[in-house]
């Protein structure tokens, strides 16, 4: 059996470890470095990853990618992505699935693609030590990662040829590293402030069991943000003294960011740092001295934000500060005296530094792998789900099925019913978040249960089961207790469509086939319109009477003949495939507007999505992206077109 | 089996029939034991018929070790072979007369310890002999080649980290035991702790059970068909612990199950809660039989409520209340049914 490795796939640095002879061991690259910067660039056809990629970032800012973990699994239309676009020199575009992609030269890479390159590299580093048969891995994720971010990370691992045994939360992994070789009976807090994300978890450790009591975090708060604060300051100072705005110059910004990171590190041990950047513009240099005090002013609110998260997690744990025996610091940012002191002040005790903040997470993942393999190892991790999971119900109420901090694995079944007579279908919208308003939580996906036996309203019993697995990934199934009709879904990599009023830039496809264009018209409308029609304990329903606007797509045919061909091939059979880069989720009902030739009046037929392909074709003979639709229409009416 | 069936039947009527059952595999025995034998009976699939109420002596031969347990049973049900009925449906239902704890233990011990090497794809009840005949010659040994293959598969499975047959038996036994002894009990019994357990011992019990049942403790060695059970068990353990871990929810739970017998060892117990616990404690010590009787009557009252006999229920509830004025459930039900009860603080005894 091959060795299992533990991988810390960090925002700014990665680390890989294993357990040998019962002891955890960080695996260094061939030059002896124990961590790998999460940077990537292209050199010809080859990816350059890690230290060499970081080294050339200043000279090649447009094609050097970093901090990709902050982008993974996020919708393009989000505050965080907008922020990233403004602050990154590399180009961030909208991906077909609603997420983001990064353009490097002529390539378009998703965060998942890039993560998978990092993971392959780490796998190679491990293979140099352990032999080539490395397959099984445990990958760490921020505790506060949501379902989608987790799934994308897992898929990245699989693409890198790894068999991802588990996704483990970073602070929990760090706790394992902390507890290794000790007989503990303690309650601890793990304060993990890394390059891009912040997590805090409270654990109780006893009898070899590491039980997470509560966890909280912010997946967009880390060293990156501290650096950007310093960059902003430098830009402002430079403008004041030289009257030149550097914020439009991406090359200058990249240099500033690099300098800011170094200054930040310097200021952990010194009281001042002089930032000298020659030829920051064609004819001017930068020479600014940043005092420690000034820097601490710049980032003060970020540290306060951490403290407020700590406050919340304490509340959720039901413990007081005094009941915590130890506070453990993890993540490079905890080296900053300001952060250290803030933690010390908040918890009222000296935080401990006995784990290596850069390596503890990978080490912990490796220890977990070891405990899974060796039953005699009396170690057990009891982790929790960071976010509440539930479904939409009437009046935009979010009904939680699995509240946050539920120990995983867990499952719950609840029975729902219909609200209309003879209703044959219910659609269930699954969300994740803490808001009581359903619409304020992130939509993870929706699915429909069809074929419910016709009955008076409130009579059918629909059993919805939520099961959250050990990776923190949700599986949902719905079953009509009467007919036994069942729908099981693992919510696919689903990224919430953009909110109304904004249209995500889309790449135009070039399908020159009969279906010229599948156009998404009212995608955004539906998000709102659909949030109306459900009652609890009844999930949202789709009644024929529903007046709210459903999804619409528009398909154009150059002339009657092409439509006729398509009709005879596909539509008449009641099912067809529509090529689109933005397929709707399975079960979505829609109106298909068929435009033929120059006729301005569309032919409207109903349809529902039965399956989708979201994988971007990479070769010409790969299946196209799109959705398969089951049509519902009046044949004679459609055939009239041919007359 | 080669005898004339009529002769057999006459013999069976005259004297105690003897049946030898050889189980092909430990699983077969285990399955039969847990689903039937442990409950005191067994259905024997046979085309031969036995009269109702006749005694049958069973010699159960265990696989591999050839250990034997003898049991005597009485035929309580006969399904005659009929041409229109699937032959697997015909046979006799037997109730054991002498399934003593020792005999149970023998079977259970066997199941618990036996390593299931040499299992074969044979029917559950491999052999069914009758009368005082010698057991027929053992079936020919499986071909060496298939045996070798099976062995290779087993070794490969072990390589992949699957459970060994012994471990599997042990795990299945644990699961079965949990469902039999703990799953449907109250949270305290489920965790195996006393009503007065301290938070620390609750936690330790939870940790111990988690180390036994959390899916990670079996990891990928867990056969897929057992995973749902393991996850279900872990879920139950979790719920019990989460309820009892938190002080408020523990007190609430205690009240809901009528557990007023003892002051739980919780440092942060409020004065009022402590007083109530103590009052009830003294009461329980003075009148244990009253409390016991109250519980019984309360049960009957609940049954009456279930079938909608409110009149009967109220009479019984009042009776239960007079036996045990601290019984929260009785108080609650009385109030729900429109009967006023004195507040706890005013009760004297």
DSSP A353-375: --S-TTTHHHHHHHHHHHHHH-T
Distance between CA A66 and CA A85 in Å, rounded?
A: 12
Is the pTM value of this prediction over 0.80?
A: no
- List Cβ neighbours of A568 (8 Å cut-off, separation of 6 or more): none
B50 φ, ψ (degrees, to nearest 5): -125, 145
How are the residues of chain A apportioned to helix, strand and coil, as percentages rounded to the nearest 5? 30, 30, 35
When pLDDT is averaged across residues A118-138 and rounded to a whole number, the result is 93
Q: Is the pLDDT of residue A517 over 60?
A: no
Residue range B288-319, pLDDT digits in tens: 777 788 888 888 899 888 888 888 888 888 88
Distance between CA A424 and CA A439 in Å, rounded?
A: 25
User: E-strand spans in A450-534?
Assistant: 462-468, 474-480, 486-490, 518-520
Q: Are the beta carbons of A570 and A607 closer than 8 angstroms?
A: no
Q: Which residue has the higher pLDDT, A32 or B166?
A: A32
Distance from CA of A373 to the nearest CA of B (A): 8
Of the partner residues A204, A372, A467, the one whose CB lies closest to the CB of residue B216:
A372
When pLDDT is averaged across residues A195-214 and rounded to a whole number, the result is 95
Mean pLDDT of chain A: 83
When pLDDT is averaged across residues A287-301 and rounded to a whole number, the result is 95
Helices (H), chain B: 5-14, 26-35, 101-113, 144-159, 165-177, 187-191, 199-213, 227-245, 247-256, 271-286, 288-306, 310-323, 328-336
Weakest-pLDDT range from A365-369, B227-231, B263-267 = B263-267
- List Cβ neighbours of B149 (8 Å cut-off, separation of 6 or more): none
Helices A292-317 and A223-242: angle between axes, nearest 10 degrees: 150
Bridge pairing between strands A462-468 and A426-432: unpaired
pLDDT at A405: 93
- Give the B window 204-233 contacts with A, CB below 8 Å: 204, 207-208, 210-211, 214-221, 231-232
**Structure confidence at residue B64 as a pLDDT band (50, 70, 90):** low
With contacts defined as CB-CB under 8 Å, which chain B residues touch A470? 215-216
Weakest-pLDDT range from A498-512, B153-167, B214-228, B286-300 = A498-512
ipTM over 0.95: no
With contacts defined as CB-CB under 8 Å, which chain B residues touch A381? 216
Distance between CA A113 and CA A94 in Å, rounded?
A: 15
Q: Is the pLDDT of residue A122 over 90?
A: yes
Q: Is the pLDDT of residue B82 over 90?
A: no
At CB < 8 A and 24+ separation, what contacts does B326-332 make?
B326/B260, B326/B276, B326/B279, B326/B280, B326/B283, B327/B258, B327/B260, B327/B291, B327/B294, B327/B295, B327/B298, B328/B255, B328/B256, B328/B258, B328/B260, B329/B256, B329/B258, B329/B298, B330/B294, B330/B298, B330/B301
Q: Is the pLDDT of residue B155 over 90?
A: no
pLDDT at B101: 77
Provide, rounded to the nearest whole percent, the portion of chain A with pLDDT above 70: 87
Mutation target vs B (from A372, A468, A471; most B CBs, 10 A cutoff) = A372
With contacts defined as CB-CB under 8 Å, which chain A residues touch B215? 409, 470
Q: Is the pLDDT of residue A408 over 60?
A: yes
**Structure confidence at residue A567 as a pLDDT band (50, 70, 90):** confident
The residue written with tokens 């919805």 in the block is A464
With contacts defined as CB-CB under 8 Å, which chain A residues touch B160? 1
Q: Do A410 and B235 touch (CB under 8 A)?
A: yes
Weakest-pLDDT range from A278-292, A404-418, B17-31, B255-269 = B255-269
Q: Are the beta carbons of A96 and A53 closer than 8 angstroms?
A: no
**Structure confidence at residue A155 as a pLDDT band (50, 70, 90):** very high
pLDDT at B8: 45
Closest CA to A429 of A560, A316, A538, A555: A538
Q: Do B207 and A206 touch (CB under 8 A)?
A: yes
pLDDT at A251: 85
Q: Is the pLDDT of residue A539 over 50?
A: no
When pLDDT is averaged across residues A114-131 and rounded to a whole number, the result is 95
Q: Do A411 and B231 touch (CB under 8 A)?
A: yes
pLDDT at B234: 94
- Give the A window 176-215 contacts with B, CB below 8 Å: 204, 206-209, 211
Distance from CA of A165 to the nearest CA of B (A): 9
pLDDT at B136: 39
Q: Is the pLDDT of residue A580 over 80?
A: no
3-state DSSP call for residue B50? coil
Distance between CA A171 and CA A212 in Å, rounded?
A: 10
Of the partner residues B160, B161, B211, the one whose CB lies closest to the CB of residue A378:
B211
- List Cβ neighbours of A574 (8 Å cut-off, separation of 6 or more): A630, A631, A632
Residue numbers of A annotated as active site:
8, 69, 170, 192
When pLDDT is averaged across residues A213-234 and rounded to a whole number, the result is 95
**Structure confidence at residue B96 as a pLDDT band (50, 70, 90):** confident
Closest CA to A416 of A438, A449, A389: A449
Q: Do A209 and B210 touch (CB under 8 A)?
A: yes
Distance from CA of B183 to the nearest CA of A (A): 16
- How far, CA to CA in Å, does B193 sit from each of A379, B198, B250? 23, 9, 13
Distance between CA B58 and CA B17 in Å, rounded?
A: 9
pLDDT at B182: 86
Q: Which residues pair with A465 in a beta bridge?
A: A413, A477
When pLDDT is averaged across residues A326-343 and rounded to a whole number, the result is 96
pLDDT at A124: 94
Distance between CA A382 and CA A97 in Å, rounded?
A: 34
Distance between CA A206 and CA B200 in Å, rounded?
A: 10
Closest CA to A550 of A532, A581, A523: A523
- Radius of gyration (Cα) for chain A, nearest Å? 27
Q: Is the pLDDT of residue A34 over 60?
A: yes
Mean pLDDT of chain B: 73
pLDDT at B11: 41
Q: Do A372 and B246 touch (CB under 8 A)?
A: no
**Structure confidence at residue B262 as a pLDDT band (50, 70, 90):** low
**Structure confidence at residue B219 as a pLDDT band (50, 70, 90):** low
Distance from CA of A215 to the nearest CA of B (A): 16
Helices (H), A458-548: 523-529
Q: Is the pLDDT of residue B259 over 90?
A: no
Q: Which residue has the higher pLDDT, B52 or A516?
A: B52
pLDDT at A524: 25
Distance between CA A224 and CA A195 in Å, rounded?
A: 6
Weakest-pLDDT range from A633-637, B54-58, B275-279 = B275-279
Q: Do B238 and A371 touch (CB under 8 A)?
A: no
Structure tokens at A398: 């979010």
Distance between CA A330 and CA A198 in Å, rounded?
A: 10
Q: Do A411 and B217 touch (CB under 8 A)?
A: no
Distance from CA of A410 to the nearest CA of B (A): 6
Structure tokens at A15: 């680390």
Weakest-pLDDT range from A47-56, A96-105, A345-354, A547-556 = A547-556
């Amino acid at each position: 059996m091959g060795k299992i490795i533990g991988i810390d796939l960090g925002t700014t640095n990665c680390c890989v470890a294993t357990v040998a002879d019962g002891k955890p061991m960080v695996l260094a690259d061939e030059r002896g470095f124990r961590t790998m910067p999460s940077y990537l660039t292209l050199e010809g056809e080859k990816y350059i990853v890690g230290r060499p990629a970081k080294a050339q970032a200043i000279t090649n800012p447009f094609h050097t990618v970093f901090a990709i973990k902050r982008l993974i699994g996020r919708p393009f239309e989000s505050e965080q992505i907008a922020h990233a676009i403004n602050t990154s020199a590399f180009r961030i575009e909208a991906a077909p699935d609603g997420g983001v992609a990064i353009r490097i030269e002529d390539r378009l890479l998703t965060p998942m693609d890039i993560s998978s390159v990092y993971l392959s590299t780490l796998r190679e580093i491990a293979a140099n030590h352990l032999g080539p048969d490395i397959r099984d891995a445990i990958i760490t994720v921020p505790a506060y990662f949501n379902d989608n971010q987790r799934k994308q990370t897992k898929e990245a691992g699989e693409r890198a040829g790894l068999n991802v045994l588990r996704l483990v939360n970073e602070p929990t992994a760090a706790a394992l590293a902390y507890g290794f070789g000790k007989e503990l009976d303690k309650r601890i807090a793990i304060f993990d402030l890394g390059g891009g994300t912040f997590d805090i978890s409270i654990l109780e450790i006893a009898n070899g069991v590491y039980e997470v009591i509560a966890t909280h975090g912010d997946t967009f708060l880390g060293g990156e943000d501290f650096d950007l604060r310093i960059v902003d300051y430098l830009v402002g100072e430079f403008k004041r003294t030289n009257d030149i705005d550097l914020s439009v110059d991406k090359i200058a910004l990249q240099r500033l960011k690099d300098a800011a990171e170094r200054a930040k590190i310097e200021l952990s041990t010194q009281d001042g740092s002089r930032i000298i950047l020659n030829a920051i513009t064609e004819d001017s240099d930068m020479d600014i001295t940043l005092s420690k005090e000034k820097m601490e002013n710049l980032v003060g609110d970020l540290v306060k934000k951490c403290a407020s998260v700590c406050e919340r997690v304490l509340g959720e744990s039901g413990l007081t500060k005094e009941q915590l025996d130890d506070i453990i610091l993890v993540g490079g940012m905890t080296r900053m005296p300001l952060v250290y002191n803030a933690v010390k002040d908040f918890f009222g005790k000296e935080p401990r530094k006995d784990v290596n903040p850069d390596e503890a997470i990978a080490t912990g993942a490796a220890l977990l792998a070891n405990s899974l393999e060796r039953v005699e190892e009396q170690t057990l991790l009891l982790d929790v789900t960071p976010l509440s999971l539930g479904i939409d119900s009437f009046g935009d109420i979010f009904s939680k099925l699995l509240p946050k901090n539920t120990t995983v694995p867990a499952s719950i079944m609840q029975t729902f019913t219909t609200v209309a007579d003879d209703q044959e279908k219910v659609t269930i919208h699954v969300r994740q978040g803490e808001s009581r308003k359903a619409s304020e939580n992130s939509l993870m996906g929706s699915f429909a249960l069809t074929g419910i036996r016709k009955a008076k309203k409130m009579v059918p019993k629909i059993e919805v089961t939520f099961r959250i697995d050990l990776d923190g990934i949700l599986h949902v199934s719905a079953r009509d207790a009467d007919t036994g009709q069942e729908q099981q879904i693992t919510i696919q990599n689903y990224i919430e469509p953009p909110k109304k009023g904004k249209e995500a830039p889309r790449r135009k496809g070039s399908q020159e086939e009969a279906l010229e264009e599948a156009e998404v018209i009212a995608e955004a409308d539906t998000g709102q319109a659909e949030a109306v029609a459900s009652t609890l304990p009844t999930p949202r329903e789709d009644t024929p009477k529903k007046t709210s606007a459903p999804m619409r797509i528009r398909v154009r045919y150059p002339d009657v003949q092409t439509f006729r061909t398509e009709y005879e091939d596909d539509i008449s059979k009641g099912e067809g495939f529509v090529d689109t880069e933005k397929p709707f989720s399975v079960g979505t009902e829609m109106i298909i507007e068929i435009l033929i030739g120059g006729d301005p009046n569309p032919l409207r037929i109903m349809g529902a999505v039965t399956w989708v392909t979201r994988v971007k074709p990479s070769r010409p003979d790969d299946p196209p992206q799109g959705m398969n639709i089951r049509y519902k229409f009046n044949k004679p009416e459609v055939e009239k077109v041919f007359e | 089996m080669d005898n004339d069936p009529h002769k057999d039947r006459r013999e069976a009527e005259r004297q105690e029939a003897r049946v030898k059952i050889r189980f092909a595999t430990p699983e077969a025995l285990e399955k039969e034991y847990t689903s039937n034998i442990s409950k005191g009976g067994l259905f024997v699939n046979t085309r031969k018929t036995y009269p109702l109420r006749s005694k049958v002596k069973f010699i159960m031969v265990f696989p591999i070790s050839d250990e034997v347990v003898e049991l005597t049973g009485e035929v309580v049900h006969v399904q005659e072979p009929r041409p229109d009925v699937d032959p697997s449906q015909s046979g006799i239902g037997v109730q054991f007369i002498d399934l003593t704890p020792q005999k149970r233990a023998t079977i259970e011990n066997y199941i618990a310890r036996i390593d299931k090497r040499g299992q074969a794809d044979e029917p559950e009840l491999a052999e069914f002999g009758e009368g005082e005949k010698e057991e027929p010659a053992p079936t020919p040994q499986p071909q060496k080649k298939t045996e070798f293959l099976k062995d290779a598969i087993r070794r490969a499975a072990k390589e992949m980290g699957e459970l060994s047959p012994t471990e599997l038996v042990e795990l299945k036994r644990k699961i079965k035991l949990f469902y039999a002894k703990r799953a449907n009990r109250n949270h305290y019994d489920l965790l195996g702790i006393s009503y007065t357990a301290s938070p620390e011992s609750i936690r330790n019990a939870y940790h111990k059970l988690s180390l036994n049942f959390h899916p990670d403790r079996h990891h990928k060695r867990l056969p897929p068909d057992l995973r749902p059970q393991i996850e279900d068990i872990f879920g139950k353990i979790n719920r019990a612990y989460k309820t009892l871990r938190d002080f408020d929810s523990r007190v609430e739970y205690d009240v809901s199950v009528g557990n007023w017998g003892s002051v739980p060892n919780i440092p942060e117990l409020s004065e009022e809660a402590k007083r109530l616990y103590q009052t009830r404690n003294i009461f329980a010590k003075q009148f244990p039989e009253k409390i016991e009787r109250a519980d019984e009557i309360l049960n009957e009252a609940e049954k009456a409520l279930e079938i909608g006999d409110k009149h009967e229920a109220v009479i019984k509830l009042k009776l239960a209340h007079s036996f045990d004025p601290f019984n929260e459930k009785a108080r609650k039900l009385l109030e729900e049914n429109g009967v006023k009860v004195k507040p706890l603080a005013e009760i004297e005894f």
